[in-house]
């Protein structure tokens, strides 16, 4: 830290940063556009001008761009200098020359960085009387709405899209006053992170297309901190609701997890909450019934003397799973996923708990400087991680940058220095991945061979790790290259997960991480979990599903309770039919109608993350709490409320009971403050102080203004009244500060710009490194292809493979049709005159007709079907299948 | 000095009083007078029940920007927005107010909403007979406040394209 002087006042500043960063970190208001804390400075907009003085004697000074000037010790600047003030006002006026000034009809209005900065500079009157430049707007797909006239040419969008997210179909076209930001032609944006443009663009050029359908201003939203439930990464989000409808999701900054960005599945998946398929009322044998009647039926079934069997869920909160486990007894609580998935999930938890390698947060991923990915297409299985991996590729080039004394925030220079130099990234996967374009080397193979490669790398690093028998020379060479790259890095990282449905792949990743750690490297390991709370369920403990069938059979008249779980997606349909037919009674709690709910005798409407509170454990092992945004009108309740004990009056009671009953989950209660937490005696308001229409929202029902609903479960209130100072980070309902209406208000809540929120890092980490365990030695035999059969593997898709988000209408537009993929050579035999055909896949007595798709990168001998998108999605894969051309 | 000022002030005030005394008296014949206001007279600036205006093409001027609702100190304006489509065009912009309610139990006729409106869609009319024994009738819906369609027949295509 050094001392800089701002308007004569001495302040501390980080000399490694620029002046804009320093001023904002000090809480000063300095307008800016093109600089972004995650993307650095390019000095494009000229909005952040300040006066810099040579020394204390210098009174003339000169204008500099704060974002392009280092905050070196003894720097003297003035923000208030009249010349600087006039310059900044002039810049805004210039930007506004062509601006449509249509805030009332602009979706950005009320949370627009341009509005904020315009007000900040004091520009309030348009003098120009000349016509404005106009552009054609493009169709950019179901997520992002384009209104090009509002552009101020800050270049943030293309910098994010191309440099940060690594996709190339968005660009700047034209020259001088006519620069157009969009695609060459109308069309769906290719990047899985396109939704971030909505937040990155400081104006209303890119706005949330789903929000348009049920538009509400930010100030009118009731908001709550939430956790994305659409994959295992646990990105932090803010949900916004009005009039009982979930309106949108935006990013909630968490320095350790998602930082400033989300993936499109997480941003747009929310619409399933408003879906037609929602279960909104309890049903008995398909007929809607009242809450009272449902409760009566529930207690009579539970007390009916029959054996209770509970089936938990990897997508339900710890609390809901615990409530079920408690109700049925821990010996009759089953995990709800296939034995294979359960085994892999438990293995991953054990590895992370026992292993010497640190379980990587997304920030760790970003800061690692050599990455090995085994068996995952992270963009499709844990999307946000792909963005972090892309940033990690820059780490090694930073060494040169530092040698040349170019500060890291000087984005263009740093990228210029790096040229095409990237940190090593090796990807071994059973097909193409979306990160292949930046990988040092890729290896396409069957799961067995991916695992063998992993084991071989571990052995190369540490001779004590088991050696892989019959290794081909080529593979040995690749393993040696990977080993050299990993050991040569300061922070090597290994990523693996369940996509290959192979425990060996996971174990081989654990070996690599262990070999690195045992040899003095500070390696991190990131294991992707199959669902948002898979690790939470594993820590809670449950019995495998194969034993559930035995239990149902033993008690001919068992009552089965299924918690937020479509068993047909988890287990072979025949098996599920068997379970359900044998049970005397079937109670199902869920949010959306599905195959399992269709068979329920008693169906209870469960709250989604928008209508309930609970805790999820992310793949990092971070327990994070999500909070209810609104109280649904009908009987929808948290599953833990339906199933819970009468004595539980709030979430705190559940959590403290979990803490006593299950010591390994004792710290989960600390994921967020308890419901008794108050700031100066007041709750934290979910609504901004400008929330409008409070007295008239329910006037159609009663003219008496109702008391806002109570929230026994959290220290958030359903109103605009309450504490207005910064709450603990886990309870931050939204970011707003005077003069900062846009999402960039987050500046005002960070300890330092881009660093942790002043209220701390939300969540608690449950996995810390330890020194137990040893190497795995279950090295599989190499994959040998068969002549008439193919090894069928699921292929993960960001849009569609996850159950709930696939019901969001915008995402549904991008979900792929079911297909069977083969590599070109294998497919040749099935193509009719080279044209696409429909084939019949058969295995284990099942048959399914699907169109054939040729995938160049798929290794020969493998066949792929989209995960979660066909009737086969419950089958245990990989499996050998036969393929025939359908007549 | 101050005595002189005081006397001057007093004289000025009394002057107004005396002048009014000799003016002809004007009696409001409400409610038996002529016209829709039944004899009541208002200054133009009188803030009565609101009118939601239409533009020259008969389209609603309100673009559902929510600014009136945000400005309202009584929090009594309720708006639900919807998008105009090529088939159904209600306002000239992207959105229109699908629902627009004002709760006159709470409105204080402050005019902030009118001031906030960027399109001059919401205005104060001269409607003043709002009293009711039943509070539930005091919620005015958009249909209650909307200006009537202009007399002039619209061209066939108006409203279909913009
Ligand atoms: S981009 Fe911002 S300033 Fe421009 S019209 Fe939209 S809200 Fe107004
Ligand atoms: S579209 Fe937005 S982000 Fe891109 S240059 Fe224009 S204002 Fe900046
Ligand atoms: S990466 Fe996963 S947790 Fe993060 S936003 Fe996307 S789906 Fe949600
Ligand atoms: S006149 Fe005042 S109180 Fe009445 S609706 Fe308008 S802003 Fe609200
Ligand atoms: S923010 Fe400094 S020039 Fe744009």
Q: Hey, whose CA ends up nearest to atom 1 of ligand 3? A: A384
**pLDDT bucket at B159, cuts 50 / 70 / 90:** very low
Please tell me the predicted confidence (pLDDT) of residue B152.
60
Least confident of A492-496, A790-794, B35-39: B35-39
Residue bearing the CA closest to ligand 1, atom 7: A109
The answer on pLDDT for A328 being more than 90 is yes
Q: For A415-466, write each residue's pLDDT tens digit.
A: 999 988 999 999 999 999 999 999 999 999 999 999 999 999 999 999 999 9
Q: Give the helix/strand (H/E) hosting B14.
A: helix B2-21
For the ranges A568-572, A823-827, B40-44, the lowest mean pLDDT is seen at B40-44
Using the predicted structure, report yes or no on whether residue A543 has a pLDDT greater than 90.
yes
Nearest CA to ligand 4 atom 1: B109
Q: Whose CA is nearest to atom 8 of ligand 2?
A: A154
Ligand 4 centre distance from Cα of residue B106 (Å)? 8
User: What kind of fold does domain A790-885 have according to CATH?
Assistant: Barwin-like endoglucanases (2.40.40)
Tens of pLDDT along B18-64?
998 888 877 678 888 887 778 888 888 999 999 999 999 999 999 99
pLDDT at residue number A555: 76
Name the CA dihedral angle for A379, A385, A388, A394, rounded to a multiple of 10 degrees: -60
Q: What is the CATH number of domain A283-337+536-715+725-748?
A: 3.40.50.740
Q: What does A273-298 look like in DSSP terms, one character per residue?
A: GG-TTB--S-EETTEE--HHHHHHHH
| Helix/strand/coil percent split, chain A, to 5 | 30, 20, 50
Residues from chain B that touch A105, judged by Cβ atoms under 8 A, are: 63, 65, 93-95
Q: Which chain B residues are Cβ-neighbours of A109 within 8 angstroms?
A: 65
d(CA A185, CA A442): 32
Q: Exposed/middle/buried for A721, CB within 10 Å: 0-12, 13-18, 19+?
A: middle
Which architecture characterizes domain B49-145 according to CATH? 2-Layer Sandwich (3.30)
Identify the residues whose C-beta falls under 6 Å from ligand 1.
A 99-100, 102-103, 106, 108-109, 112, 114-115, 150, 203-204
SS3 (DSSP) at A529: coil
Q: Comparing A537 with A725, which gets the higher pLDDT?
A: A537
How far away is chain A from the Cα of B47, in angstroms, using its nearest Cα?
20
Please answer whether residues A513 and A635 qualify as being in contact, where contact means their C-beta atoms are separated by less than 8 angstroms. no
Confidence bin at A830 (pLDDT 50/70/90): confident
pLDDT at B157 over 60: no
- CA Rg value for chain B: 22
Q: Tell me the C-alpha to C-alpha distance, in Å, between residue A371 and each of A165, A220, A497, A500.
A: 17, 44, 14, 18
pLDDT score, position A29:
96
Confidence of residue A703 (pLDDT cuts 50, 70, 90): confident
Does A700 contact B67 at a Cβ distance shorter than 8 Å? Answer: no
Span A725-746, average pLDDT = 95
Position in ligand 1 atom list of the atom nearest CA A108: 7
pLDDT above 90: percentage of residues in chain A: 87
pTM of the model: 0.93
Judged by its nearest atom, the ligand closest to the C-alpha of residue A40 is: 5
Closest CA to A813 of A383, A434, A268, A231: A268
Number of CB atoms found within 10 A of residue B122's CB: 24
Q: Is the dihedral of CA A735, A739, A743, A749 positive or negative?
A: negative
Structure confidence at residue B160 (pLDDT): 43
Q: What is the pLDDT of residue A639?
A: 95
Q: Residue B154 — pLDDT band, cuts 50, 70, 90?
A: low
Query: CB A483: neighbour CB atoms within 10 A?
Result: 22
Q: Please report which confidence band the pLDDT of residue A48 belongs to, taking 50, 70 and 90 as the band edges.
A: very high
CA pseudo-torsion sign A187, A252, A649, A335: positive
- Of the residues A146, A214, A215, A244, the best mutation for testing chain B's interface (the one with the most B CB atoms within 10 Å of its CB) is A215
Helix (H, G, I), strand (E, B) or coil at A790: strand
Phi, psi angles (nearest 5°) of residue A160 = -65, -50
| Average pLDDT of the residues in A820-835 | 84
Ligand nearest to the CA of B48: 4
Which segments of chain B belong to CATH 3.30.70.3270?
A: 49-145
Nearest CA to ligand 4 atom 5: B107
What are the tokens at A97?
A: 């020359």
pLDDT at residue B162 in the model:
36
> DSSP character for A161?
I
Q: How far is CA A200 from CA A65, A191, A238, A732, B161, in A?
A: 20, 14, 16, 21, 33
What residue in A sits closest to B96 (Cα-Cα)? A105
- Region A3-17: mean pLDDT is 95
* pLDDT tier for residue B161 given thresholds of 50, 70 and 90: very low
Q: Supply the pLDDT for residue A701.
A: 83
Location of each CATH 2.40.40.20 domain in chain A: 790-885
C-alpha span between A487 and A479 (Å, rounded): 12
Confidence of residue B153 (pLDDT cuts 50, 70, 90): low
The fraction of chain A above a pLDDT of 70, given in percent, is 100
**What does the pLDDT read at residue A551?**
86
Contact of B116 with chain A, judged by CB distance below 8 Å, is answered with: no
Domain A342-529 architecture: 3-Layer(aba) Sandwich (3.40)
Q: Which residues of B touch A243 (CB under 8 A)?
A: 80
Kindly tell me if the per-residue pLDDT of A21 is higher than 60. Answer: yes
Tell me the ipTM for this assembly.
Answer: 0.87
- CB of B75 within 8 Å of a chain A CB? The answer is yes
> Looking at residue A716, what is its pLDDT?
96
Verify whether the Cβ–Cβ distance A703 to B81 is below 8 Å: no
Q: Is A695 on the interface with B (CB under 8 A)?
A: yes
Residues of chain A with CATH 3.10.20.740: 2-96
B146 touches chain A (CB under 8 A): no
Does residue A201's CB lie within 6 angstroms of at least one atom of ligand 2?
yes
Query: pLDDT class for A834, splitting at 50, 70, 90?
Result: low
Q: Are A557 and A855 in contact (CB under 8 A)?
A: no
Q: How far is the CA of A233 from the centre of ligand 2 (A)?
A: 29
Over residues B4-14, mean pLDDT: 93
Question: Among A515-519, A650-654, B84-88, which stretch is predicted with the lowest mean pLDDT?
Answer: B84-88
A159 close to A133: Cβ distance less than 8 angstroms: no
The CATH code of the domain at A2-96 is: 3.10.20.740
The SS3 assignment for A741 reads coil
CB contact under 8 A, A104 and B65: yes
- Chain B, residues 8-47, CB within 8 A of chain A, namely none
Higher pLDDT, A325 or B160: A325
Give per-residue burial for A252-289: e unless 16+ CB within 10 Å, then b. Answer: bbbbbbbbbbbbbbbbbbbbbbbbeebbebbbeeeeeb
Model confidence at A229, in pLDDT bands (50, 70, 90)? very high
Give the nearest ligand 2 atom to A153 CA. Answer: 5
- Residue A615's DSSP bridge partners are A625
Q: How far apart are CA A533 and CA A668, in angstroms?
A: 13
Q: A306: CA distance to ligand 1 center in Å?
A: 63
User: Which residues lie below 8 Å from residue A285, measured CB to CB, with a gap of 6+?
Assistant: A601
Partner A contacted by B78 (CB < 8 A): yes
Residues A364-405 have pLDDT tens digits of 999 999 999 999 999 999 999 999 999 999 999 999 999 999
Ligand 2 neighbourhood includes A691 CB (under 6 angstroms): no
- At residue B155 the predicted structure's pLDDT band, cuts being 50, 70 and 90, is low
Residue nearest to atom 2 of ligand 2 (CA): A201
The per-residue pLDDT for B156 is 53
Number of H-type helices and E-type strands within chain B: 4, 5
User: Residue A263 above 90 pLDDT?
Assistant: yes
Q: Which of B46, B57, B41, B48 is nearest to B89 (CA)?
A: B57
Length of chain B: 162
């Amino acid at each position: 830290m050094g001392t800089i002087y701002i308007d004569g006042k001495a302040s501390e500043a980080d000399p490694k940063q620029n002046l804009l960063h320093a001023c904002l970190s000090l809480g000063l208001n300095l307008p800016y556009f093109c600089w972004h804390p995650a993307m650095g400075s390019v000095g494009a907009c000229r909005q952040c001008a300040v006066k810099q003085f040579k020394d204390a004697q210098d009174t003339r000074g000169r204008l500099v761009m704060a974002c392009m000037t280092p905050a070196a010790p003894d720097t003297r600047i003035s923000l208030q200098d009249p010349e600087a003030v006039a310059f900044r006002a002039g810049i805004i006026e210039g930007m506004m020359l062509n601006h449509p000034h249509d805030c009332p009809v602009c979706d950005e209005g009320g949370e627009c960085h341009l509005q904020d900065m315009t007000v900040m500079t004091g520009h309030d009157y348009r003098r120009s009387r000349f016509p404005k430049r106009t552009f054609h707007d493009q169709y950019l797909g179901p997520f992002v709405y384009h209104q090009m006239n509002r552009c101020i040419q800050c270049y943030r969008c293309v910098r994010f899209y191309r440099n940060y997210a690594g996709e190339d179909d968005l660009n700047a076209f034209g020259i001088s006053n006519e620069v157009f930001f969009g695609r060459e032609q109308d069309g769906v944006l290719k990047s899985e992170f396109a939704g971030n443009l909505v937040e990155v663009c400081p104006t209303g050029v890119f706005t949330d297309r789903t929000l348009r359908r049920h538009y509400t201003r930010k100030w009118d939203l009731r908001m709550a901190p939430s956790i994305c439930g659409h994959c295992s990464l646990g990105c932090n989000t803010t949900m916004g609701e009005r009039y009982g409808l979930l309106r949108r999701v935006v990013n909630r900054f968490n320095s350790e997890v998602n930082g400033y960005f989300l993936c499109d599945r997480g941003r747009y998946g929310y619409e399933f909450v408003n879906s037609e398929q929602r279960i909104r009322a309890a049903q008995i044998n398909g007929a809607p019934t009242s809450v009272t009647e449902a409760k009566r039926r529930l207690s009579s079934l539970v007390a009916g003397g029959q054996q209770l069997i509970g089936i938990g869920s990897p997508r339900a909160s710890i609390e809901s799973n615990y409530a079920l486990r408690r109700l049925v007894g821990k010996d009759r609580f089953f995990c709800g996923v296939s034995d294979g998935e359960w085994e892999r999930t438990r293995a991953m938890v054990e590895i992370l708990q026992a292993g010497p390698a640190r379980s990587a947060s997304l920030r760790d991923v970003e800061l690692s400087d050599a990455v090995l990915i085994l068996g995952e297409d992270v963009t499709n299985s844990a999307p946000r991680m792909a963005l972090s991996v892309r940033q990690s590729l820059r780490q090694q080039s930073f060494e040169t940058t530092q040698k040349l004394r170019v500060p890291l925030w000087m984005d263009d220079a740093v990228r210029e220095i790096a040229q095409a130099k990237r940190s090593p990234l090796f990807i071994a996967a059973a097909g193409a991945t979306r990160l292949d374009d930046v990988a040092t080397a890729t290896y396409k193979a069957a799961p067995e061979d991916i695992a063998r490669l992993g084991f071989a790398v571990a052995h190369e690093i540490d001779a004590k790790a088991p050696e892989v028998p019959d290794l081909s020379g080529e593979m040995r060479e690749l393993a040696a290259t990977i080993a050299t790259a990993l050991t040569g890095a300061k922070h090597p990282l290994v990523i693996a997960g369940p996509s290959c449905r192979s425990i060996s792949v996971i174990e081989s990743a654990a070996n690599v991480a262990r070999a690195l750690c045992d040899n003095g490297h500070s390696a991190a390991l990131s294991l992707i979990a199959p669902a948002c709370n898979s690790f939470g369920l594993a820590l809670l403990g449950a019995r495998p599903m194969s034993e559930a069938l035995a239990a149902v059979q033993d008690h001919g008249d068992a009552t089965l309770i299924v918690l937020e779980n479509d068993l047909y997606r988890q287990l072979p349909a025949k098996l599920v039919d068997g379970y359900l037919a044998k049970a005397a009674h079937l109670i199902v709690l869920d949010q959306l109608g599905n195959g399992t709910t269709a068979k329920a005798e008693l169906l209870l409407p469960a709250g989604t993350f928008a209508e309930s509170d609970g805790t999820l454990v992310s793949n990092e092992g971070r327990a994070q709490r999500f909070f209810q945004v609104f109280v649904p009108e009908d009987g929808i309740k948290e599953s833990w409320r339906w199933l819970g004990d009468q004595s539980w009056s709030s979430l705190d009671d559940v959590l403290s009971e979990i803490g006593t009953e299950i010591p390994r989950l004792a710290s989960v209660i600390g994921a967020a403050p308890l419901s008794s937490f108050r700031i100066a005696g007041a709750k934290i308001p979910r609504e901004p102080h400008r929330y409008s229409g409070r007295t008239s929202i329910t006037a159609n029902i009663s003219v008496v203004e109702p008391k806002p609903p109570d929230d026994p479960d959290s220290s958030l209130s359903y109103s605009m009244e309450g504490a207005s100072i910064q709450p603990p980070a886990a309870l931050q309902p939204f970011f707003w500060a005077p003069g900062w209406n846009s999402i960039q208000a987050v500046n005002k809540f960070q300890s330092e710009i881009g660093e942790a929120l002043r209220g701390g890092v939300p969540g608690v980490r449950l996995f810390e490194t330890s020194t137990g365990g040893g190497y795995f030695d279950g090295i599989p035999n190499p994959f040998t292809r068969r002549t008439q059969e193919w090894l069928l593997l699921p292929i993960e898709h960001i849009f569609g493979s996850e159950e709930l988000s696939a019901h969001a209408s915008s995402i549904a537009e991008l979900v792929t049709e079911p297909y069977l993929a083969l590599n070109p050579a294998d497919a040749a035999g099935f193509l009719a005159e080279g044209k696409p055909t429909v084939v019949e896949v058969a295995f284990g007595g099942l048959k399914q007709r699907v169109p054939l798709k040729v995938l160049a990168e798929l290794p020969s001998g493998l066949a792929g079907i989209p995960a979660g998108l066909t009737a086969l999605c419950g089958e245990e894969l990989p499996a050998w299948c036969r393929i025939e051309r359908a007549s | 000095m101050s005595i002189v000022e005081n006397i001057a002030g007093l004289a000025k005030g009394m002057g107004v009083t005396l002048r009014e005394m000799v003016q002809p008296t004007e009696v409001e014949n409400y409610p038996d007078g002529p016209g829709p206001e039944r004899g009541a007279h208002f200054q133009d600036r009188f803030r009565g029940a609101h009118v939601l205006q239409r533009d020259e093409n008969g389209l609603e001027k309100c673009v559902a920007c929510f600014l009136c609702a945000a400005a309202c100190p009584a929090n009594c304006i309720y708006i639900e927005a919807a998008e105009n489509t090529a088939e159904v065009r209600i306002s000239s912009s992207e959105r229109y107010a699908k629902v627009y309610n004002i709760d006159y139990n709470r409105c204080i006729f402050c005019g902030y909403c009118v001031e906030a409106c960027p399109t001059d869609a919401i205005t104060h009319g001269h409607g003043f007979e709002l009293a009711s024994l039943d509070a539930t009738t005091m919620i005015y819906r958009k249909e209650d406040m909307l200006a009537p369609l202009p007399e002039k027949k619209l061209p066939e295509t108006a409203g279909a394209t913009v």
